[in-house]
Structure 1
Amino acid sequence: MQPEDMLWWTDWVVAATLTLCILLITAGQQNKTLSAMQGIMTLVQLFLGWAVFPKLVNQFVYGSNGQLMPFWPRIAVANLFALSVLFGSVLTGVNVNVK
């Protein structure tokens, strides 16, 4: 397995977005509501996952030549951040659907 194969953050940000969309569509069909604070926090988290985080990964995980820097904790931190985006989206969707 190559180090590039260990970068799952893009998959998790996409999964977070799709999960949230599916859960919110389901909640909308059942006339359930989302609090303003939950909505804002979820949008901020998705914005960080789609707009800010890719720039940070490009700067801190990849070198100037476009190759991964040989430092495994960088990959782990990138994956953990993306996993937090996924968990946040799932928790928001579940919280809305449980109400």
Structure 2
Amino acid sequence: MDPVLAAMVLAAGVSLAQLWLKFASRKPHHQKWHALNLEDAIWWIDWVVAASVALVALLVIAAHEHKAVSVSQVIWASVTLLAGYSILPLSFRVICYENGQIKGWPYAAVMNMTGMTLLLGSAAAGASVNGW
């Protein structure tokens, strides 16, 4: 299976499992049939963590096997870590939240698509290092 597709399937599977656990474990409020909220649809954090862990692991595997790592791959790894752990959280807090609440579904979608982009880019970079 293509590593980028595998990363996307794994990320979607983990997110859906996480959503199911939240759905199943919370008691619904009053007349609602579920207790989920918009915050439960925020998966970009999981995807950024998965992206950075996967990329670092793939680079370590490549180094262990004495494979060459290009400058662009090192730059991508650095950008992933910098963006995922500093730029994105601060930007999202300023742009996508108001009074501690997400402004709406479009903002949640943008945050998730940004996280998925980092994950897929990291999978592609790590796969290319290892010749997959």
Fold-level similarity (TM above 0.5) = yes
Letter in 2 for 1:98: G
| Residues 42, 88 of structure 1: 8 Å contact kept | no
- The match for 1:90 among 123, 126, 129 is 123
Letter in 2 for 1:44: V
2:73 maps to 1:25 = no
RMSD over equivalenced CA pairs, Å: 1.3
Instruction: Provide structure 1 residue ranges, at least 5 long, that are not aligned to the other structure.
Output: none
Task: Tell me how far 1:80 sits from its aligned partner.
Answer: 0.4
Task: Tell me how far 1:60 sits from its aligned partner.
Answer: 1.5
| Residues 46, 85 of structure 1: 8 Å contact kept | no
Q: Which has the higher contact order (CA 8 A, sep 6+)?
A: 1
- Using the size of structure 1 for normalisation, the TM-score is 0.90
Q: How does 1:1-99 map to 2 (within 5 A)?
A: 1-63=36-98, 65-69=99-103, 71-98=104-131
CA 1:45–1:18: 2 relative to 1, 3 Å:
closer
CA 1:20–1:41: 2 relative to 1, 3 Å:
closer
1:67 and 1:91 map into 2 onto residues whose CA distance is 33
Further displaced range: 24-33 or 38-47: 38-47
Instruction: Give the secondary-structure state (helix, strand or coil) at the position aligned to 1:31.
Output: coil
Instruction: Give the secondary-structure state (helix, strand or coil) at the position aligned to 1:98.
Output: coil
- Using the size of structure 2 for normalisation, the TM-score is 0.69
2:58 and 2:74 map into 1 onto residues whose CA distance is 13
Instruction: Provide structure 2 residue ranges, at least 5 long, that are not aligned to the other structure.
Output: 1-35
Task: Tell me how far 1:45 sits from its aligned partner.
Answer: 3.0
